[in-house]
A and B are shown apart, each in its own frame.
Chain A
Amino acid sequence: MIAQHMPIIQIILPLMAAPVCLIIRHPHVVWIWAVAISLLCLPISVSLLMQVMDTGTIVYELGGWAAPWGIEYRIDTLNAFVLVIVSAIGAVVMPYARRSVEKEIPVSRIYIFYSMMLLCQTGLMGIAITGDAFNLFVFLEISSLSSYVLISFGTDRRALTAAYRYLIMGTIGATFYIIGVGFMYSATGSLNIHDLSTLIPEMAGSRTVQAALAFLTVGLGLKVALFPLHMWLPNAYTYAPSAVTVFLAATATKVAVYALIRVTYTIFGTVDFLDIVPARDLLMGMALIAMFVGSAVAIYQVNIKRMLAYSSVAQIGYMILGLSFDTVNGVAAGIIHLFNHAMMKGGLFMVLGAVMYRIGSVHLHDMAGLGKKMPLTMAAFVGGGLSLIGVPLTVGFVSKWYLIQAALEKGWWPVAALIVVSSLMAVIYVWRVVEVIYMKPAGQAAENATEAPMSLLIPTWVLIGAAVYFGIDATTTVDVAVAAAEALLGGAR
């Protein structure tokens, strides 16, 4: 009986656990509670993925109302994969959060922090699981509102402006999304994504539907932080508490990319874009610019958290680039990178969280000489950095390999060349940090630094280790991603 209700349990577990945090209030007990819930979410999502891979799409009707009238949760390979990413990151971040949060957030507010983390996870998983366009908006708001709160917990006062800026931009994004949904509803009378995918193609010529596509793309583009809509991201990631940066960097933009995939490939999948608007060409152009601008700006950052944030802008470019190819391999490459980037960026931000914990700063010159003081932590940074560049035997290589293959398959060798060149830019910004932490003598800040505590090190190495493991044995991720891409494009043509 339970197995049948797995989809809804995945969501209501963290949803109901979040308000309970407000009753518990004791910082340590709340942490144990949040860890327990996040650890429970992971096996549920893994079992959902396995079930989907075995038996195909799972449909769960809320309240027993049949779609398209009721809300349904519709889980195919792609959803299930995104659910696994979010719940896995949640399960790693929650144990990590305790030490980091104790240091960065006033004790009296820790219970709100965990409540918000659980809500944010609920929202992100909800976006991934739901089969209803309006329900997706509701979950988008749950995740966004809680992430504004989480960012504003940052110790630096600039965290407040960063959160406010994200609030304004995120609200515009969500509003554009809901306007798009409204247009689709007025044209088709349906809010169910699966239903829309059959109704929209007949009305592709309608201005309303075209305007809907424009609003949806821009709205989700803001949430994805696709260049030039990425301006909220660097400050939000830089000034948020370390654990929040890890969680958001590894999940929030990924889930937004997922939503964009849903819109462009499921809802508008069968519409021939080139006849109407060159939406995918536009996405490709923006993705290429993002890859270069993101990497170029990253090279000049002295705050390493900010450097990684700009690197995220570039990495999001790779994902969107994969999607814009409109081929199975391209979309699969985008989905693979979704997973891979979550692991490596999560791991890298965890390293910075550990540095913040020990020396209270993540500025480049403060980190001089840390290679000797915190060898294990810094080794993790090197591992993550290599993955960011795309060195063989890391996940970054796998993503870029498939991305370049997809580009060559279309005969777009200049695009392939651009991917290689932008990866070389990653070498520059990663090397800058590696040089300072290993070759420079320890400065004042790093003088008395010692190795990070185990509770920070283990989660970091779990993610970095996963980044290496899935780099060597990529069959699982590639199989899932290809299956998801085939399902997306197969239905279409």
Chain B
Amino acid sequence: MKQKIILRVISKFLIPYILLFALYVQWHGDFGPGGGFQAGVIFAAGFILYAIIFGVDTVRVVIPAVVTRLLLVFGVLLYSGVGVAGIILGGNYLDYNVLAHEPTHGQHYGILLVELGVGITVASAMITIFCTFAGRGPEDPEEEV
């Protein structure tokens, strides 16, 4: 689809706003509708749109497989790490109250970090799944992930 100039221009124009909207959904998730999962999907949608228009190989230049893999891991570890921090600071697993001096602040930090972990993992999982399916030719069954 590289020759369709309208698609190229419009998608290039839209992608920053898609990513921005994803970040809004991510950070505003604890006050309004939204949260890590939705934000992750919207964020990944930006990359997937780019991949559809400019090709999977091009998007892999922007975000190589090694990066999505690290982010996948980082998100999960961020989530569970917040839980472990709760234990270390004297509460139970995933107890946000102990994360800051004030329980309400602790709650705030806790949910933001956990949702960030969810968002990162979901976004990188979506990108990985799309690229794995779309990029899988008959010749190269091994690479990806």
Interface residue ranges, A against B (CB under 8 Å):
5, 8, 12, 15-16, 19-20, 22-23, 60-64, 106, 108, 112
Contact = CB atoms under 8 A, between A and B. Distances in A.
Interface size class of B (residues with CB under 8 A): 20 to 34
Interface string B69-100: 11011001100110110110001111111000
A63 B72 contact: no
B73 A61 contact: no
A168 B74 CA distance: 31
A63 B95 contact: yes
Interface of B: 69-70, 72-73, 76-77, 80-81, 83-84, 86-87, 91-97, 142, 145
A22 B121 CA distance: 13
Contacts of A12: 80, 83-84, 93
Contacts of B84: 12, 16
A62 B95 CA distance: 7
Contact of A112 (B91, B96, B145): B145
Contact of B80 (A15, A23, A60, A106): A15
A12 B82 CA distance: 12
Given A12-B80, A12-B83, A64-B97, A22 B73 contact: yes
Nearest to B110: A63
Contacts of B83: 8, 12
A19 B77 contact: yes
A178 B55 CA distance: 39
Given A12-B80, A12-B83, A12-B84, A5 B72 contact: no
Contacts of B86: 63
Contacts of B81: 16
Nearest to A19: B73
Given A8-B83, A62-B92, 9 more contacts: A5-B87, A5-B93, A8-B93, A12-B80, A22-B72, A63-B93, A63-B95, A63-B96, A64-B91
B142 A108 contact: yes
Nearest to A7: B93
Q: Which of B70, B87, B97, B142 has the most CB of A within 10 A?
A: B87
B95 A19 contact: no
Contacts of A5: 87, 92-93
Given A20-B73, A22-B72, A61 B80 contact: no
A18 to B, nearest CB: 8
Given A12-B80, A16-B77, A63-B86, A23 B92 contact: no
A8 B87 contact: yes
A16 B142 contact: no
B92 A19 contact: no
A8 B83 CA distance: 10
Contacts of B97: 64
B94 A63 contact: yes
A350 to B, nearest CB: 29
B105 to A, nearest CB: 16
A20 B70 CA distance: 9
B92 A61 contact: yes
Nearest to B95: A64
Nearest to A21: B73
A62 B69 contact: no
B72 A19 contact: yes
6 contacts: A12-B83, A12-B93, A23-B69, A60-B93, A64-B92, A112-B145
Contacts of B70: 23
A467 to B, nearest CB: 36
B65 to A, nearest CB: 11
A20 B69 CA distance: 11
Nearest to A106: B142
B85 to A, nearest CB: 12
Scoring B87, B92, B142 by chain A CB atoms within 10 A of each residue's CB, the highest score goes to: B92
Contact of B92 (A15, A22, A60, A112): A60
A480 B96 CA distance: 37
Contacts of B92: 5, 8, 60-64
Output the residue of B86, B91, B94, B95 with the most chain A CB within 10 A: B94
Contacts of A8: 83, 87, 92-93
A16 to B, nearest CB: 5
Nearest to A25: B69
Nearest to A15: B80
User: 4 closest A-B pairs (Cβ-Cβ)?
Assistant: A63-B94, A19-B73, A8-B93, A64-B95
A15 B79 CA distance: 11
Contacts of A15: 80
A16 B77 CA distance: 6
Contact of A62 (B73, B76, B93): B93
Contacts of B87: 5, 8
A23 B76 CA distance: 13
A19 B93 CA distance: 19
A168 B80 CA distance: 30
A22 B75 CA distance: 13
Contacts of A112: 145
A374 B37 CA distance: 54
Contacts of B94: 62-63
Nearest to B75: A19
A108 B142 CA distance: 8
